Amino acid sequence: MDTVDLLVFNGTLVTMDDKRRVIEDAGVAIKGSRIVAVGARRDIVRRYMARQTIDARGKIIIPGLINGHTHIPMTLFRGLADDLDLQDWLTKYIFPAEAKNVSEEFVRAGTRLGLAEMIRGGTTTYCDMYYFEDAIADETAKAGVRGVLGETVIDFPVADNKTWEEAMAYVERFVKKWKGHELITPAIAPHAPYTVSEAHLKEVREFSDRTGAPIVTHVSETKREVDDSIKAKNASPVEYLRRIGFLNHRVIAAHVVWPAGNDIDTLERAGVGVVHNPQSNMKLASGVAPVPRMMKEGVRLGLGTDGAASNNDLSMWEEMDTVAKLHKVFTGDPKVISAQQAFELATIRSAQALHMENEIGSIESGKRADLVLVAQDALNQLPLYNIYSHLVYATKTSDVQTVIINGRVVMRDRRLLTLDEAAIKQGAGVFRAQVIKSLAGGQSK
Ligand SMILES: [Zn+2]
Q: Specify the range with the lowest mean pLDDT, choosing from 24-38, 72-86, 320-334.
A: 72-86
Residue 375 Cα, ligand 1 centroid: separation in angstroms? 31
Per-residue pLDDT, averaged over 196-205, amounts to 98
- pLDDT tens-digit profile of 370-391? 999 999 999 999 999 999 999 9
Residue 214 Cα, ligand 1 centroid: separation in angstroms? 16
Predicted pLDDT of residue 442: 53
Residue 243 Cα, ligand 1 centroid: separation in angstroms? 23
Predicted pLDDT of residue 439: 85
Note whether 405 and 145 are within 8 A (CB).
Answer: yes
What's the first-to-final CA gap in the chain, in angstroms?
Answer: 66
Residue 6 Cα, ligand 1 centroid: separation in angstroms? 36
Distances (CA, A) of 224 to 69, 85, 387: 21, 11, 40
Listed residue (311, 410, 386, 428) closest to 64, CA to CA: 410
Residue 64 Cα, ligand 1 centroid: separation in angstroms? 22
Distances (CA, A) of 371 to 30, 125, 250, 258, 411: 10, 11, 26, 34, 11
| Residues near ion ligand 1 (Cβ under 5 Å) | 306
Residue 254 Cα, ligand 1 centroid: separation in angstroms? 7
Per-residue pLDDT, averaged over 283-300, amounts to 97
Per-residue pLDDT, averaged over 15-42, amounts to 98
Residue 35 Cα, ligand 1 centroid: separation in angstroms? 32
Per-residue pLDDT, averaged over 199-216, amounts to 98
- The per-residue pLDDT of the chain, averaged, comes to 96
Distances (CA, A) of 362 to 7, 60, 79, 415: 17, 14, 34, 24
Q: Specify the range with the lowest mean pLDDT, choosing from 153-162, 233-242, 255-264.
A: 153-162
Render 374-434 in DSSP notation, one character per residue.
EES-SGGG-S-S-HHHIIIII--GGGEEEEEETTEEEEETTEESSS-HHHHHHHHHHHHHH
pTM of the prediction? 0.97
Predicted pLDDT of residue 224: 95
Cα torsion angle, 38, 42, 46, 51, sign:
positive
**Whole-number Å distance between alpha carbons of 208 and 10:** 44
pLDDT-based confidence at residue 441 (cuts at 50, 70, 90): low
- pLDDT tens-digit profile of 391-437? 999 999 999 999 999 999 999 999 999 999 999 999 999 999 999 99
Residue 113 Cα, ligand 1 centroid: separation in angstroms? 18
Residue 376 Cα, ligand 1 centroid: separation in angstroms? 32
Residue 71 Cα, ligand 1 centroid: separation in angstroms? 6
**Whole-number Å distance between alpha carbons of 180 and 431:** 33
- 386: Cα separation from own chain's centroid: 26
- pLDDT tens-digit profile of 230-258? 999 999 999 999 999 999 999 999 999 99
Residue 440 Cα, ligand 1 centroid: separation in angstroms? 26
Residue 395 Cα, ligand 1 centroid: separation in angstroms? 26
Residue 69 Cα, ligand 1 centroid: separation in angstroms? 6
Q: How many C-beta atoms lie closer than 10 Å to residue 22's C-beta? A: 14
Predicted pLDDT of residue 444: 43
DSSP structure class, residue 29: E
